[in-house]
Amino acid sequence: MHMSPVLSGTPVRCLGSGPRRPGAWERVAWAIAVLGFVVGGCAKAPIPTGPSLEPTANVYLRSAFDTDPSGYLGRFLPEDQGDLDEADGMALACSVHLSWRFVEGGNVETTEVFRASSGLQAHLGVPMAGQLRSTGDAERLARVAYTLTGKMVTTVEDPAAFASCCKAQPDQCTDRMVGEFLQGTGSVYLESAQGRSFHAEAATAEAGGALVVESGVSWRRAVVFPEPVYFAFKATPTPYRQRPVRTCSGWTPKHPEPADGIVLRAASGPAWTEQAARRQARTALADQLERATGLVAEAEKKGTVLGLQELDWCLEWIEKAGQVHHAAHVLGVVTPEEQRRVRDLPMPVVEPPPPRTVRVACAPWVDALPTASDGLFVVGRHALPAMTRSGARLRATVNAHSQAGWATGLGAVALSRGTTLAVQERASCVERTSTGGYRAFMLAFVSDAEQRRIRSISVHPDPSKMESTSVEVR
């Protein structure tokens, strides 16, 4: 019997059930079971899931395990360094105020994901797979299944003396230190496959074996420590070096605010860098400047800039979940002299645009059509210039005949009745364009008699009596 992955709780037999003819509902169950067998297989169990791939905060796997790491306790760690090892710790002047004590672990069994340093790869002599998360740093992670037997914890013997040392010598205290060492027994697994190669690895995974599949990642066992050793350390924040949540709440500018003028204060929002916070604060100060004085736009029209003096700055930071966000506050002033300077500047005289050159047509009838009582005048023209005079004249002639057909509405009628509309070409002119080409105009005339002739032709004329007309090109 096997539980179908499609219908939870419905047993489905993978082998035949006998000669009895199944009913309708049984046939449906069999169809679903076959689908489940094809997709997941009758004997394949679902891939187990394990701990989250998110590493435990501030805990790092050691590159070499031992039974006495007390020499590293109380050492200060470099700031803003991701690839950490206890060997990176520095014994500074304020380390003399730190000691350690042992705390029982209670044999608690757990499985976690720790960060690992590059030194672990060199020590184990095996390659570590790529990043599990798309971060900027090459983050190395390891799965550790362990039984905690104890911890070695850093303590401050004289808190007042330690605080005085860090405050008097800031360069002798960093923002974190080696605070704990974890002792226990267990195994270390390194990532061996994910993505396309994950399924091949998952097919060979066995519970409790050298290969473990959890959360879509295949982990291969690399180290086993059956006896209690110190296998990991914790980077803890240094007391008295914690960055304050707000450092500008009681900000007093270094320069006294002037009695006259317009004083402005602006602040930025949280930013990733100090430079970005300063840019945001300056932008906010410029916005306040326009609202407070109304002279920014006027200064731009007069070709100048309203002067703003930055009297003082205050920078602060907020640390949350290991991420530091910067913020900036700025104090600025616009003096009365600067405001008067902008107001007294004359508004620049705007030169009138040069007069437009009026094109003089090559003939008066180009822009003003003549009228006639016995017919209709049209002008033929073309948009694109021609290379020669004769070419321009030919284009204008063709367009004049088209214009005559459109103006009278008889162009298509004449063609349907086997004739053409007779167009009289009265005048023409050619002018030179600015690009060196030629443009021509043709004055044409269609008489009323010609229009009556077209209308009087029958719809189906005798082909033997069709008139032959031609277009004369001058």
pLDDT of residue 220 exceeding 60, the answer is yes
Report the pLDDT averaged over residues 304-309.
82
Percentage of the residues of the chain whose pLDDT score is greater than 70: 70
- In this prediction, residues 363-375 reach a mean pLDDT of 89
Cα separation, 210 vs 201, whole angstroms: 11
Q: Are 268 and 314 a contacting pair, CB within 8 Å? A: no
Instruction: Indicate the helix (H) or strand (E) that contains 418.
Output: none
How many CB atoms are closer than 10 A to CB 276?
Answer: 15
What backbone phi and psi angles, to 5 degrees, belong to 162?
A: -65, -45
Give residue 350's pLDDT band: very low, low, confident or very high (50, 70, 90).
confident
Output the pLDDT for position 435: 86
- The CA distances from residue 51 to 112, 196, 345, in Å, are 6, 21, 71
Confidence (pLDDT) at 224 = 92
- Please tell me whether residue 55 adopts helix, strand or coil conformation: coil
Listed as own residue / partner, the contacts of 464-473 with beta carbons closer than 8 Å and 24 or more positions apart are 466/418, 466/419, 467/419, 469/419, 469/420, 469/422, 471/397, 471/401, 471/420, 471/423, 472/425, 473/393, 473/394, 473/397
Q: 3-state DSSP call for residue 285?
A: helix
Say which range, 42-51, 77-86, 341-350, 364-373, has the weakest mean pLDDT.
Answer: 42-51
- Give the pLDDT of residue 472: 52
Q: Average pLDDT for residues 162-186, to the nearest whole number?
A: 86
Percent of the chain with pLDDT over 90: 20
What are the tens digits of pLDDT across the range 399-426?
999 999 999 999 888 888 889 999 999 9
* 412 within 8 A of 405, measured Cβ to Cβ: yes
User: Residue written as tokens 């362990």?
Assistant: 146
Question: Each residue of 234-291: pLDDT tens digit?
Answer: 988 887 654 444 557 666 666 666 667 788 888 888 887 878 888 888 888 888 887 8
What sign does the dihedral 190-192-198-200 (CA atoms) show?
negative
Tokens of 79: 């700031």
Q: Which pLDDT score is estimated for 52?
A: 55
Q: What average pLDDT does range 336-348 have in this prediction? A: 85
For residue 382, give both structure tokens. 């073309």
Contact yes or no for 291/266 (Cβ under 8 A): no
Phi, psi of 205 (to 5 degrees): -70, 140
Which of 179, 231, 306 has its CA nearest to residue 62?
231
Residue 417 token pair? 């009745």
The H-or-E segment that residue 407 falls in is helix 389-408
Whole-angstrom Cα distance, residue 327 to residue 277?
A: 5
- Residue 444 scores a pLDDT above 90: yes
pLDDT class of 391 with cuts at 50, 70, 90: very high
Q: In the chain, what are the domain boundaries?
A: 2-39, 59-237, 262-344, 364-465
Taking only the tens place, the pLDDT of each residue in 128-139 is 554 444 333 446
Give me the chain's average pLDDT, please: 76
